Chain A
């Protein structure tokens, strides 16, 4: 039979042909567009052309090199820490439990500074005050007031360091919460310092306080503020930006002893500039945001986050795990604990959180809760997951897709409460997020997710991944210490990073450089007791790092 009798076309053929063509076009034209062009993800840090022997080249963020200089401040004109409280942005917002505007905040700071003056116990540039306060508005006000008077504040990252710090660096005064007061008193009596140290208490010490006041110099913070409110000091002569504004004591990365890092006001403004750059340029921080942070104000990173919130005019609250000085054991961040911790922010009268600065443990536990809730909640969840993963492979993710509405939104509300819909960015700082939780986390939240690393040596993050980066790299066969960790992106905009003690031969062969991470830049502080006459200013962070060819780093703590 001739071929033509096989190729019989009729109306059905036309119909099917049109449908086939339509489906072909549909699938090819409606491919999801990646949120960021992949070519930009291939070169995320700028590499210096020359390197010293046994060291890698110096890496900077790619966008910094376009600007040419490491930014020192979030905007021109922000010289000191007090400038971060912008008098021209005056909408009220809630900081922890208090609704306050910038003008009111500055008024309280001035009153407090004037009260401190009236006490007459402190000398600008010489006295040091130890902060043993839990996070709250009083911490900020006291911090700003002492900064205005050029009195250095000291913070410790854990109550275990208290004894050593009191021994080696006795402060002129200690400011603390009522809750922690008994512990302080014990320590001070132990080292026989109670005649030389003033103790300022935030809150009402009650009868215990009255008894103690007979034996030692005990003052109430609210009294100081009230005293000073009658004639608030004028803050116009600005303090020196290179004056050491705070000393942060923390455990050394190796776990033995403690390190003391000095920060100047310029370090903090540079840190705020770096923290602001964590969010994409198309959706930066706005006064409508609410930031919830898991990092205590007693650490440089937590402090920087708080000052970024103050600068941007957002609402702010910290989680229970950030409360260090309670006299109890710290909050454990295992699976149920992490979830409870995140929901502890609901005790504050803040609007529902839009930006979360949390640790990888929180992310892991939230992700698994959301995915469990979604799979038990809807029979479409497997199908929705499949579609979202397919889009993520192409580089696209959104919170407003059909699948979110049917499957994932309900799960998020179940886990995070009614405010789950407002969440718009998640910044996980810690550096040890396992690679296999990356895709589930990105899909469970479907919001810009930043993987970052911080250190007690610098204000603000050291490394941060690009928020729209959805790349998934299969693990290679080599294995090694960096194998199952998600990458943390390029150095932040204010820092330079290099790896030390690298294998020169391996690098010349083209392998990824692996070595100890050293940083330098405006947000990095200086170790107490060291002078910078060497000129190089590189600080060892206590991390080991590996650089990928696209400029992203993977870091692990050095002594694990």
Chain B
């Protein structure tokens, strides 16, 4: 069973083994000279471009805001609960968010369906989804006066979260303030 160079299969295998052992014992150390643009191409990668940012042009925004911000009352907000495939809206502290993208949560079969089309401020502050957190549509909006500072902070935290995740599309006021 001696190794003879004349045997091509054995030679090929032997060369392959020598090559592998060499790369295990003496691994390559040159970092890549071209920066890979995908994480699968290399560890030291860099995305190809910056995340897109839009330049704020004051006039455009004022126009958009004028068009897009509607005033809702508890009665006009209530239909927007996603039941018949329409948009799902909810309000926190007078700001109305369009949460249609979160249909799984806020839609008719969702965990937080209670909040759809309603003022969710108290529920957000007290971290509860109970029916008691909601004020009846016929009654004036919950003034939230008995909330503790930490509950108000919690509610503001939710407003930040909703502002970054969903779009603001209006404000919620009482019937007589329209």
Q: Please measure, in the bound complex, the distance between the C-alpha atom of A17 and the C-alpha atom of B20, giving whole angstroms.
A: 13
Binds A, one of B7-15, B107-115, B123-131: B7-15
Binds A, one of B50-58, B75-83, B95-103: B50-58
Q: Please measure, in the bound complex, the distance between the C-alpha atom of A547 and the C-alpha atom of B14, giving whole angstroms.
A: 50
Q: A283 in the interface, Cβ–Cβ < 8 Å?
A: no
Task: Point out the residues of chain A lying under 8 angstroms from B161, CB to CB.
Answer: 68
Task: Point out the residues of chain A lying under 8 angstroms from B1, CB to CB.
Answer: 10-12, 15
Produce 1/0 per residue, B3-44, CB < 8 A to A. Answer: 100011110011011001101101111011111000100111
Known contacts A50-B56, A69-B157, A471-B44, A24 near B10 by CB under 8 Å: no
Instruction: With both chains docked as a complex, state the minimum distance between the C-beta of B42 and any C-beta of chain A, in angstroms.
Output: 8
Say yes or no: B50 contacts A547, CB within 8 Å: yes
Binds B, one of A166-174, A386-394, A536-544: A386-394
- Within 464-495 of A, Cβ neighbours of B (below 8 Å) are at 470-474
Task: Point out the residues of chain B lying under 8 angstroms from A504, CB to CB.
Answer: 55
Q: A510 in the interface, Cβ–Cβ < 8 Å?
A: yes
Task: Point out the residues of chain B lying under 8 angstroms from A474, CB to CB.
Answer: 31-35
Task: Point out the residues of chain A lying under 8 angstroms from B20, CB to CB.
Answer: 20, 23-24, 27
Q: A52 in the interface, Cβ–Cβ < 8 Å?
A: yes
Give the tally of cross-chain contacts (CB within 8 A). 131
Task: Point out the residues of chain B lying under 8 angstroms from A42, CB to CB.
Answer: 39, 45-47
Q: A125 in the interface, Cβ–Cβ < 8 Å?
A: no
Instruction: With both chains docked as a complex, state the minimum distance between the C-beta of B113 and any C-beta of chain A, in angstroms.
Output: 23
Say yes or no: B16 contacts A20, CB within 8 Å: yes
Say yes or no: A473 contacts B39, CB within 8 Å: no
What number of A residues sit within 8 Å (CB to CB) of B?
Answer: 59
Say yes or no: A16 contacts B17, CB within 8 Å: yes
Say yes or no: A38 contacts B23, CB within 8 Å: no
Q: Please measure, in the bound complex, the distance between the C-alpha atom of A504 and the C-alpha atom of B33, giving whole angstroms.
A: 30
- Within 510-554 of A, Cβ neighbours of B (below 8 Å) are at 510, 512-513, 547-550
Instruction: With both chains docked as a complex, state the minimum distance between the C-beta of A270 and any C-beta of chain B, in angstroms.
Output: 15
Binds B, one of A1-9, A140-148, A346-354: A1-9
Task: Point out the residues of chain A lying under 8 angstroms from B44, CB to CB.
Answer: 393, 471-473
Task: Point out the residues of chain B lying under 8 angstroms from A471, CB to CB.
Answer: 43-45
Task: Point out the residues of chain A lying under 8 angstroms from B14, CB to CB.
Answer: 16
Partner of B8 from A7, A24, A52, A548 at Cβ < 8 Å: A7
Q: A119 in the interface, Cβ–Cβ < 8 Å?
A: no
Q: Please measure, in the bound complex, the distance between the C-alpha atom of A473 and the C-alpha atom of B1, giving whole angstroms.
A: 50
Say yes or no: A387 contacts B54, CB within 8 Å: no
Q: Please measure, in the bound complex, the distance between the C-alpha atom of A550 and the C-alpha atom of B24, giving whole angstroms.
A: 32
Partner of A51 from B23, B42, B54, B156 at Cβ < 8 Å: B54
Partner of A47 from B9, B42, B53 at Cβ < 8 Å: B53
Task: Point out the residues of chain A lying under 8 angstroms from B45, CB to CB.
Answer: 38, 41-42, 471
Task: Point out the residues of chain B lying under 8 angstroms from A39, CB to CB.
Answer: 39
Q: B160 in the interface, Cβ–Cβ < 8 Å?
A: yes
Task: Point out the residues of chain A lying under 8 angstroms from B26, CB to CB.
Answer: 383, 386
Q: A19 in the interface, Cβ–Cβ < 8 Å?
A: yes
Say yes or no: B17 contacts A393, CB within 8 Å: no
Say yes or no: A43 contacts B47, CB within 8 Å: yes
Instruction: With both chains docked as a complex, state the minimum distance between the C-beta of A232 and any C-beta of chain B, in angstroms.
Output: 30
Known contacts A474-B31, A512-B50, A23 near B21 by CB under 8 Å: yes
Q: A53 in the interface, Cβ–Cβ < 8 Å?
A: yes
Say yes or no: B35 contacts A473, CB within 8 Å: yes
Q: Please measure, in the bound complex, the distance between the C-alpha atom of A37 and the C-alpha atom of B7, giving whole angstroms.
A: 46
Task: Point out the residues of chain B lying under 8 angstroms from A395, CB to CB.
Answer: 43
Say yes or no: B43 contacts A390, CB within 8 Å: no
Say yes or no: A69 contacts B55, CB within 8 Å: no
Known contacts A12-B1, A50-B56, A394 near B21 by CB under 8 Å: no
Say yes or no: B55 contacts A16, CB within 8 Å: no
Say yes or no: A390 contacts B24, CB within 8 Å: no
Say yes or no: A13 contacts B9, CB within 8 Å: yes
Say yes or no: A549 contacts B49, CB within 8 Å: yes
Instruction: With both chains docked as a complex, state the minimum distance between the C-beta of B104 and any C-beta of chain A, in angstroms.
Output: 19
Task: Point out the residues of chain B lying under 8 angstroms from A473, CB to CB.
Answer: 35, 44, 46
Q: B143 in the interface, Cβ–Cβ < 8 Å?
A: no
Produce 1/0 per residue, B147-167, CB < 8 A to A. Answer: 000000000110011001000
Task: Point out the residues of chain A lying under 8 angstroms from B10, CB to CB.
Answer: 10, 12-13, 16
Q: Please measure, in the bound complex, the distance between the C-alpha atom of A512 and the C-alpha atom of B53, giving whole angstroms.
A: 12
Known contacts A20-B20, A38-B43, A471-B44, A68 near B54 by CB under 8 Å: no
Instruction: With both chains docked as a complex, state the minimum distance between the C-beta of B119 and any C-beta of chain A, in angstroms.
Output: 21
Instruction: With both chains docked as a complex, state the minimum distance between the C-beta of B18 and any C-beta of chain A, in angstroms.
Output: 10
Q: Please measure, in the bound complex, the distance between the C-alpha atom of A150 and the C-alpha atom of B39, giving whole angstroms.
A: 52
Instruction: With both chains docked as a complex, state the minimum distance between the C-beta of B34 and any C-beta of chain A, in angstroms.
Output: 8
Q: A49 in the interface, Cβ–Cβ < 8 Å?
A: yes
Q: A413 in the interface, Cβ–Cβ < 8 Å?
A: no
Which residue of B has the minimal Cβ distance to A42?
B47
Q: B139 in the interface, Cβ–Cβ < 8 Å?
A: no
Task: Point out the residues of chain B lying under 8 angstroms from A212, CB to CB.
Answer: none
Known contacts A11-B1, A23-B21, A27-B24, A50 near B46 by CB under 8 Å: no
Instruction: With both chains docked as a complex, state the minimum distance between the C-beta of B93 and any C-beta of chain A, in angstroms.
Output: 15
Which residue of B has the minimal Cβ distance to A549?
B47
Q: Please measure, in the bound complex, the distance between the C-alpha atom of A57 and the C-alpha atom of B52, giving whole angstroms.
A: 10
Say yes or no: B53 contacts A50, CB within 8 Å: yes
Q: A208 in the interface, Cβ–Cβ < 8 Å?
A: no
Which residue of A has the minimal Cβ distance to B43?
A395
Task: Point out the residues of chain B lying under 8 angstroms from A51, CB to CB.
Answer: 53-56
Q: A34 in the interface, Cβ–Cβ < 8 Å?
A: yes
- Within 377-419 of A, Cβ neighbours of B (below 8 Å) are at 383, 386-387, 389-390, 393-395
Q: A65 in the interface, Cβ–Cβ < 8 Å?
A: yes
Q: Please measure, in the bound complex, the distance between the C-alpha atom of A197 and the C-alpha atom of B21, giving whole angstroms.
A: 77
Say yes or no: B160 contacts A68, CB within 8 Å: yes
| Most chain B CB within a 10 A radius of its CB, from A37, A471, A510 | A471
Say yes or no: A17 contacts B13, CB within 8 Å: yes
17 residue pairs bridging A and B, Cβ less than 8 Å apart: A8-B7, A12-B2, A13-B7, A13-B10, A20-B16, A38-B45, A50-B54, A50-B56, A51-B55, A51-B56, A69-B157, A393-B44, A510-B49, A512-B50, A547-B50, A549-B48, A550-B47
Chain A residues near B (Cβ < 8 Å): 6-13, 15-17, 19-20, 23-24, 26-27, 34, 37-39, 41-43, 47-53, 56-57, 65, 68-69, 383, 386-387, 389-390, 393-395, 470-474, 504, 507-508, 510, 512-513, 547-550
Among all A-B residue pairs, the 7 with the closest Cβ atoms: A390-B27, A16-B13, A471-B44, A395-B43, A38-B39, A23-B20, A57-B53
